[in-house]
Structures are given as C-alpha cells and as structure tokens.
Chain A
Amino acid sequence: DSGVTQTPKHLITATGQRVTLRCSPRSGDLSVYWYQQSLDQGLQFLIQYYNGEERAKGNILERFSAQQFPDLHSELNLSSLELGDSALYFCASSVDLSTGELFFGEGSRLTVL
C-alpha cells in the first residue's frame, strides 16, 4: 500500500460526458502528479501540482483540467470524453520536487463507450 488513494477504481461512461477522478496523496506529501496509461501511448505525464500550485504540464488535453485543493487532495476533470480517452489514470505523490521519487496510487480505469 503506497498510501496514495484514488477513487473511483473503475468508471464507465459515454462519449461526450464529463468525469472527475480524485486523488488523496500520502500523508505529508505536497506534490501530486497525474499520469495516463494506455496501450498505444504508454505512461504519459499529464500535470503536476505542488502545494496547490501548478508546477509542470505535460501532454494534457485542453478538455482535461486538474486542481489541488488546500487539503492537498487533487482532482482530474475530463470533459467531452472521447473513445480514445479510455485509459488507466494514475495519481502519484511525492514529498518534494527535487528527486522525482513518486508513490503511485492503484489508478482509476476509465472506459468510454
């Protein structure tokens, strides 16, 4: 158990819909990362937050957005969903920004029908 909690574990929805994925980092970790894992793209970095502020952005679509709240939990919002958005979405946390040592949650599997 990494200490990172993600909900929901599984989600099935239809094209055009909007979903929210939630992540609670390990106790004491200030940084949260979101990754997308799909068969064709592998593990893709989406976005990173540190203590509520966005710090780094990767291959995140404009239809996707995220935020980190004062209690340090984070949400990833996916809107206007397309079939290609079906993937496993991982949240990870770290105590700081300096080393890249991340602790991953078990992921949220999104299926878009």
Chain B
Amino acid sequence: AQSVTQPDIHITVSEGASLELRCNYSYGATPYLFWYVQSPGQGLQLLLKYFSGDTLVQGIKGFEAEFKRSQSSFNLRKPSVHWSDAAEYFCAVFSGNTGKLIFGQGTTLQVKP
C-alpha cells in the first residue's frame, strides 16, 4: 500500500540557517509528490509538487524539493529559514489507482531567533 514517512516529528532551526525536511514514500509507480504547509489555525497550503521531469522542483516562499527515485525520497529544503516559516509541514503522495492523496504524519518546524 502507498505510504509516506516523515522521520522527524519536530525540528528546531535558527533563523537564517538552512533547512531540510525528510520525506520517504512507498509507491509502486512513478509518484506524484507534494509538500504542504499548515500554519497555526490555517488550512493546508501547497508549497510545491513533483509530477515528472526535472527532479529538483521549486516552490513558493523559497522552498525547493528534490525527487530521488533510488532513495524513494522527496526532501524539502530552504537555504535560509525565516521566523515566519514556523509551521507544520506535510509530505504527500497521490495514488492514481485509488484517487487518494496520502499524507505523512507531518514535521513541526520551530524557528529560533
């Protein structure tokens, strides 16, 4: 069955430092992959998506992610974190067979001043 694993439940970084959030997926075919962000009290906002082609995808707010098929990973990165990036981040995989978007458990990002 399709699944998504986000190994880090909670990450704390200093403002201005670089960030990498990990995501591993399990899916038989070429996956459609997503990163969403949820700020406190808000819904989920799409940060970026990977469907095919270039394995390094750019998103909003300065985020990027790299698809690595050999590692079944889709890690999210940002070169310099801002205090406003503090939120919960969800990785997701879309199953075309079932029509479901399956989410990981989420990673909470805390940004230290």
Give A residues with C-beta under 8 Å from B.
Answer: 2, 4, 33, 42-43, 45, 48, 55-56, 58, 90, 92, 97-107
Contacts of A92 in B (CB 8 A): 44, 101
**A4 vs B45: C-alpha distance when bound (angstroms):** 12
B100 contacts which of A48, A90, A104 (Cβ < 8 Å)? A48
Contacts of A48 in B (CB 8 A): 99-100
Q: Is the interface of B mostly helix, strand, loop or mixed?
A: strand
Query: Which residues in window 89-105 of B have CB below 8 A to A?
Result: 90, 92, 94-96, 98-105
- Size category of the binding interface on chain B: 20 to 34
Contacts of A101 in B (CB 8 A): 34, 46, 49
How distant is B15 from chain A, measured CB to nearest CB, in Å? 27
How distant is A21 from chain B, measured CB to nearest CB, in Å? 14
Contacts of B83 in A (CB 8 A): none
Contact between B34 and A42, CB atoms less than 8 A apart? no
**Residue in chain B with minimal CB distance to A100:** B94
Contact between B43 and A45, CB atoms less than 8 A apart? no
How distant is B109 from chain A, measured CB to nearest CB, in Å? 16
Contact between B34 and A56, CB atoms less than 8 A apart? no
